[in-house]
Structure 1
Amino acid sequence: MEGMSVEVPDPNELLRLQPTVRYDDRNEQGRGGARHLSAVLPAISAAMGHPLPTPVHSDPEFAREQLGLPEAASVVVVLVDGLGFWNLAMRRGHAPYLRSLLDDSSCSTPISTCYPSTTVAAMSTFGTGTCPGLTAMTGYTQMNVQTNEICQLIQFKGAPEPLELQRQPTIFERLSAEGVRVTSSGLPKFAASPLTQAAFRGADYVSNVLPRDRVLAAAKAARTPGLTYLYIRDADKTGHNYGWDSDRWVGAFERIDAQLGLLKRSVPRGTLIVVVADHGMISTDPDLRIDIAQEPMLAQGVQAVGGEPRALMLYLEPECSADEVADRWRDRLGDRALVRTRDEAVADGVYGPVDPRVVPMIGDVLVSAAGRTTIVDSRIQTDKATRLPSVHGSQTSAEMDIPLLIDMA
């Protein structure tokens, strides 16, 4: 296809809050709809000849066409954790293979991830082809309505059992039920992790410690028709620890590009390769950090804080009005954040369709940070967690825009 160069907007533009992304396949906003992380696996199912509609995407073939996926008997889908579209575009000089895909006109515009733009919400959205309002995975931390305490959904600390919380069938298990081979290649420690059970159950899991071995295992699986999933976490892990604009991140990015180049060289001819991410990352500014523990006006009436520093969920004391708390936070934060009540966010479609059982898991008030602002609570978070150099979660282009890169071996 005709090549084109991706033009990176002004960084300040990428840090502005964007309108809510819609899940409707035929939405006319130009953002979301079929061009959404939730549509990728339904579209791939159609490309493989086993179209699987979901409550969010009723026409997998339409999604396939909108995403530009060719038909293929064997597909490898790679999710690179934390590699947002604009992170990739701004560092593409370090990644010859990814740059070659990004310069293709079919891959030169981003698709959208879910809100919050964070791993647990995005992984379950991706794995089920639905949305956080149906998967019940609405944030890094959220209310466990059984215990009335905050739980964490990366390791499911204090959370319900994975299949009890996340009840949507995964695309993997649905394909497996139709007799399609589904293989997942990853680290041994993720083989039976709660997040894997919640978002990616149904695949045959192949464990390897070394990145090269995981890539080659995926390539070997692709020799047989079916779907292969490869997860690469290094961009996110390095970004949180050192900053996505650090030399260490660039080094990790270069290694990721090399792994994907190896994948392309190793899969059988005719294999479709699809590369996506769960979210992007932004660099924080310590001078723009707000600590709820030091702000009595913000802490007033807040019983518990969920979410993360870019996408907070405030759970209020029983007698408190969500409207009053939201107004107080708006007065304090101004244009540094978008503050919505739960009712406003649900009505706006922030979480997609919302199952009634999920509603009380969502905070009474939601706070989405703009710019480089982070909002922390040093009473319950470690010092390191409040000072991460790069984060994600909010509704800016830098965090919500993700790549969809397509290649055919």
Structure 2
Amino acid sequence: MSRASELASLGLSLPDYGGRELGAVLPAALSAVGAGHVVQHRDADADRARLGLGTARHVVVVLLDGLGHLALDARRGHAPFLRSAEQGVITAGYPTTTAASLALFGTGQPSGRTGLTGYTARNPRTGGLANLVSWEGAYEASEWQRQPSLLESAAQAGFPVTTLGRRRFAGSGLTQAVLRGGRFVGAERLSERIDTALTAAREPGVSYCYWGEIDAAGHQHGWGSSEWVTALEDADRELRRLAEGLPRDAVMVVTADHGMVDVPGAARWDVATDAALREGVDLIAGEPRALHVHTEPGVDPEDVAARWREGLSGQAMVWTREEARVDGLFGELLDEVADRVGDVVVAMAGRATVVDSRTQSPKSMALIGMHGSLTPEELQVPWLVVDAS
């Protein structure tokens, strides 16, 4: 069976890199306000046409962390505004996780170019794990991620850009790596961010508003929980207010960085206690739905990949790094960041997970909602456009 056929048989699919995908969103928004020329490595005007976005004086881009298209569709009765405005589906990149997705969003380039290859990644300088959300264990953000920030490029060209998020994110490693540039406005509540977005929308430019409560509720309680529904309802209400308050010639677009699956009751393996999975393995990075398996020195990755394919038969897609490069799993994989990718790469099917209790905390392994892989629930995110004109 070919790898493409195996991927399809597992219910998985590759991201639509260069098409209707998360990396096209900010270039399209910049093109809409006349700043498409600042975008490198992709055609911003083509992205705008592909996403069906017109021209505008100001574009507010809202990213709802963790809101998959299929989850939104399943709970559409709780989100009447979002339901009415949804204009289709785009894909996240791989892995379908916040650090990689925000890098794709903020630079327009996939994780194979940015080096933000998972929730955690192997730090090639120390050999240990780097957390690419908290930035603990990573080195200087500007060295880890060398691709230009689209917000910074726009700001340097004289186009006003505003980022709205929690105050603690202003100087974080992840922000500096992929979302640096322009004016950062810290606001804890979504209502405060909406107020600021409405003020910013009176002037030309682009605003970016991040909201993480849906993702947080999904991790802790599951995407079908009452807590998740409440977070969705809160976002729906505030985004309706934003849409109704937009000045003429302003546009709001809404998307997400990934979806989520609930994993309790599904198959789970622990590398710490599974001899076949542990053999020849030096370090596990990534996350339970999308793993980077770094082999011990002198061990053939093909041998490790074969053991993982056998041990996870029917529950995962397993590549060597070179196979993943050929298949474009991470988009274009640059040599300078290839060592952040595992010698073996694993994308889980269904709701299955692989953990490593030697390095993961009991709290992280007990999460109900998880993401990272290539199921439709994780990969497909909503695309919404509201034109005030």
Give TM-score scaled by structure 2 length.
Answer: 0.95
Amino acid at match of 2:52: G
> In 1, are the aligned partners of 2:162 and 2:208 still within 8 Å (CA)?
yes
> In 2, are the aligned partners of 1:243 and 1:283 still within 8 Å (CA)?
yes
Matches for 1:217-228 after TM superposition, within 5 Å: 217-228=196-207
2:255 to 269, 273, 276: 276
Matches for 1:8-407 after TM superposition, within 5 Å: 16-23=10-17, 33-52=18-37, 54=39, 56-57=41-42, 59-102=43-86, 107=87, 109-407=88-386
Distance in 2, matches of 1:228 and 1:250, equals 26
Q: Residue by residue, what CA displacement relative to the aligned partner does 1:210-240 show, whole Å, maximum 9, x if unpaired? A: 2211110111011110001111111101100
Identity of aligned pairs, percent?
A: 43
> In 2, are the aligned partners of 1:244 and 1:282 still within 8 Å (CA)?
yes
> In 2, are the aligned partners of 1:54 and 1:130 still within 8 Å (CA)?
no
Deviation of 1:18 after TM superposition, in Å, equals: 2.4
Distance in 2, matches of 1:277 and 1:112, equals 9
Distance in 2, matches of 1:267 and 1:21, equals 32
Amino acid at match of 2:380: D
Amino acid at match of 1:21: P
Distance in 2, matches of 1:114 and 1:311, equals 12
> In 1, are the aligned partners of 2:372 and 2:378 still within 8 Å (CA)?
yes
Work out the number of aligned pairs and report it.
382
Distance in 1, matches of 2:85 and 2:16, equals 26
> In 2, are the aligned partners of 1:15 and 1:370 still within 8 Å (CA)?
no
> In 2, are the aligned partners of 1:114 and 1:131 still within 8 Å (CA)?
yes
Give TM-score scaled by structure 1 length.
Answer: 0.91
Counterpart of 2:5 in structure 1 is none
SS of the residue aligned with 1:145?
Answer: coil
Deviation of 1:203 after TM superposition, in Å, equals: 2.1
Distance in 2, matches of 1:312 and 1:73, equals 42
List structure 1 segments (4+ residues) > 4 angstroms apart after TM superposition: 53-56
> In 2, are the aligned partners of 1:15 and 1:371 still within 8 Å (CA)?
no
SS of the residue aligned with 2:373?
Answer: coil
SS of the residue aligned with 2:195?
Answer: helix
Q: Which runs of 5+ in 2 are unaligned?
A: 1-7
Amino acid at match of 1:203: G
Q: Residue by residue, what CA displacement relative to the aligned partner does 1:227-258 show, whole Å, maximum 9, x if unpaired? A: 01111111101100111110110011100111
> In 1, are the aligned partners of 2:38 and 2:154 still within 8 Å (CA)?
no
* Cα RMSD (Å): 1.6
> In 2, are the aligned partners of 1:42 and 1:52 still within 8 Å (CA)?
no
Q: Residue by residue, what CA displacement relative to the aligned partner does 1:181-217 show, whole Å, maximum 9, x if unpaired? A: 1011111111111111111100201112222111101
Deviation of 1:161 after TM superposition, in Å, equals: 1.0
